[in-house]
Amino acid sequence: MELILPILMDMISDGVVIINEKGIVKLFNSAASTITDWAAEDAQDLDFRSIFTFLNENNHPISSEQNPIIASSKANSPMEYNDLVLETRLKKQIKIAIKVAPIAINSKQNSAPAGMIIIFHDITRRQKAQGEQSDFISTASHEMRTPVAVIEGYLAMLVNPNTATLDKRGLDYAQKAHRAAQQLGRLFKDLLDVTKVDDRRAPANLELINSAIAAEQITNNFKTIANEKKIKLVYTGANPKSGEKVLNPINIIYVDFDHLTEILGNLIDNAIKYTKQGEVAVSVSSKNQRVRFSVTDTGVGIADEDIPHLFQKFYRVDNSDTREIGGTGLGLYLIKQLAEQMDGSVGVESEYGKGSTFFVEFPELSREQAVLKAQEIKKRRQS
């Protein structure tokens, strides 16, 4: 068995290192050699600190408290880091993802580990490839939005009786082409927005926002769309289902207003789109130092099996009620990413055939916190 273990370890593409209770290297596989530039025979019986040199953003070695191997050993529990800089034996700096776990002697929780197992891999190439892919998607989406907008504009003129005269069949074809062009334009916009969010290129301009006023303002932006579809769109203030307290002007959140507008606007637009008749209600409530924006509709609802996947990229509910409604499968994913970047969270409650409630929550600021944030914003603008 002792001869088989090193052979098996060398078949693994991740770097694998096993150290004993004193921190001495006892197993060092081929992938670990490739990543660290240490030959296995040189690394064998060395202290792990000689091999694993982690650097901070200033290219200085990190402290012992920040070292994942030491931290995992002291806590006697597994730890995982996804973006550490490792300096190799040849002084190259690479980004790695690393998992560290203690090797237990017995089942007692507080017993000292017999050693540690360290599993890691180089993410430098992966991040570069992801960056190149994102750049391509971003550039392509940006460049193609202009010609698609031109096509959509001309098609809009064709379907407008004031600017063009078509027979019934021609008008039907033009309307279908116009809807397809609109959907394509939305796809390019969503791709561009998602790429920026994934690459953290959509910086948040955080400011103090009165939740109730913002919600009512954003809701009013969709009155025309709702009226055209004969859907009643209302801003109710307090959540009509929960009965929680109505927000007053001191209930403040610290978010990017443009991002909040995109999040709440997307939820309202979806609710109108998936509601054939009835109403869409927007509410704001406060509970446990969290502000919740809710959008409740009387639409088609969502099946239980679809709910866990709704906020995944490109996921779309596919059934007879939704098939004819255009969408990219990116809107809810974008909402989730934008919300989480502002310390928010998202969720949904739904019953198939009876409607849905989508909600997003953000931390609520106390009076004292709001005053401090206001002072920070003032200093930032003056500097």
Q: Among 86, 102, 122, give the residue marking a domain's end.
A: 122
pLDDT < 50 positions in the chain:
1, 239-249
Residues 368, 335: one domain?
Answer: yes
Question: pLDDT tens for residues 126-178?
Answer: 766 666 666 666 677 667 778 888 888 889 898 898 888 888 898 889 888 98
Based on the fold, state whether residues 379 and 316 are members of the same structural domain.
Answer: yes
How far is it, in rounded angstroms, from Cα 182 to Cα 124? 38
Same domain, 289 and 362: yes
Give pLDDT tens digits for 37-94.
Answer: 999 999 999 999 999 999 887 788 888 888 999 999 888 889 988 878 999 999 999 9
Domain span at residue 112?
4-122
Question: In the prediction, which pLDDT does 249 show?
Answer: 46
Show which of 63, 95, 122 is a domain's final residue.
122
Domain count, the chain: 3
pLDDT at residue 318, as a whole number: 64
Q: Do residues 151 and 193 share a domain?
A: yes
Domain check: are 301 and 154 in the same one? no
- DSSP structural state of residue 364: P
Please report where in the chains the tokens 């290192």 appear, as a residue.
17
Tokens of 199: 């690459």
CATH number at residue 29: 3.30.450.20
Query: Which amino acid is residue 147, in one-letter code?
Result: P
- Averaged pLDDT score across all residues of the chain: 83
CB 31 within 8 A of CB 12: yes
Residue 217 and residue 363 share a domain: yes
230 and 87 belong to one structural domain: no
Q: Are 31 and 14 in contact (CB under 8 A)?
A: yes
In which residue are the tokens 């996804």 written? 82
Cα-based distances in Å from 116 to 37, 68, 127, 156, 160: 21, 11, 28, 66, 71
268 lies in the same domain as 365: yes
What pLDDT does residue 9 have? 73
pLDDT at residue 132, as a whole number: 65
Same domain flag for 139 and 225:
no
Count of CB atoms within 10 A of residue 371's CB?
12
Looking up residue 370, the CATH number of its domain turns out to be: 3.30.565.10
For CA atoms 184, 299, 338, 81, the dihedral sign is negative
> How far apart are the C-alpha atoms of 321 and 90, rounded to whole Å?
60
Q: Are residues 13 and 100 in the same domain?
A: yes
* Cα angle for residues 345, 347, 352 (degrees, 5° grid): 170
**Shared domain check, 279 and 142:** no
| Strand ranges for 71-142 from DSSP E | 79-87, 93-103, 115-122
Name the strands in the sheet holding 15-20, side by side, starting at the edge strand that comes first in the sequence: 25-28, 15-20, 115-122, 93-103, 79-87, 53-55
pLDDT of the residue at 246:
46
Q: Which residue, 106, 122, 138, sits at the end of a domain?
A: 122
Tokens of 161: 């009786």
pLDDT of residue 370: 86
pTM to 2 decimals? 0.59
Contacts of 33 (CB under 8 A, 6+ apart): 39, 40, 43
Same structural domain, 235 and 348: yes
CB contact at 8 A, 368 and 295:
no
